Structure 1
Amino acid sequence: MGSKNKLKRFKDNEAFKNVVQPSREEVLDNFSLKGKWHTFFNNKNPVVLELGCGKGEYSVSLAEKYPEKNFIGIDIKGARFWRGAKTAIENNLENVAFLRTQIELIDHCFAAGEVSEIWITFPDPQIKYKRTKHRLVTRPFLEKYQQLLNSDGLVHLKTDSEFLHGYLLGLLHEGNHEVLYANHDIYNSSSPPEEATGIQTFYENQYLEVNKAITYVQFRTNY
Structure 2
Amino acid sequence: MGKDKLRRFAEIDTFSNVLQLDAGKEFKGKWSSSFFKNDNPLVLELACGKGEYTVNLATLFPDKNFIGIDYKGNRIWRGAKTALEDGVNNVGFLRIQIETLLDYFANDEVDEIWITFPDPQPQISREKKRLTSSRFLDMYKVVVRPGGFINLKTDNDDLHAYTVEKIEETGLNLHVRTEDLYHSEFADEVLSIKTYYEKKYLKDNKNINYLKFSF
TM-score normalized by the length of structure 2: 0.96
Per the TM alignment, residue 196 of structure 1 is displaced from its structure 2 partner at its CA by 5.3
Change (3 A) 1:196 1:165: farther
Counterpart position of 1:215: 209
Q: Give % identity.
A: 48
CA shift for structure 1 position 210: 2.5
For residues 173-213 of structure 1, give each alpha carbon's deviation from its aligned partner in whole angstroms, at most 9, with x where no partner exists.
11211000000111112x11526533111221222223210
User: What is the aligned counterpart of 1:67 among 44, 55, 62?
Assistant: 62
Q: CA deviation at 1:75?
A: 0.5
Q: Which runs of 5+ in 1 are unaligned?
A: none
User: Structure 1 residue aligned with 2:128, among 124, 133, 152?
Assistant: 133
Q: Which residue of structure 2 aligns with residue 56 of structure 1?
A: 51
Deviation at 1:95, TM superposition (A): 0.5
- The yes-or-no answer on 1:19 pairing with 2:18 is yes
Aligned Cα RMSD in Å? 1.3
Q: Distance in 1 between matches of 2:121 and 2:204?
A: 23
Distance 2:95 2:153 in 1: 22
CA deviation map 1:32-68 (0-9, x unaligned): 1100102100111111000001111111111111111
Runs (4 or more) in structure 1 with deviation over 6 Å come to none
Q: Deviations over 1:76-121 (max 9, x none)?
A: 1111110000000000010000000000101110000110000000
Aligned position for 2:39: 44
Matched, 1:185 2:180: yes
Aligned pair count? Answer: 214
Question: 8 Å contact 1:186–1:196 — kept in the other structure?
Answer: no
Contact 2:57/2:190 (8 A) holds in 1: no
1:200 corresponds to which residue? Answer: 194
- Secondary structure class of the residue paired with 1:17: coil
Q: TM-score, normalised by structure 1?
A: 0.92
Which of 133, 138, 160 in structure 2 is aligned with 1:165? 160
- 2-11 vs 156-165, which deviates more? 2-11
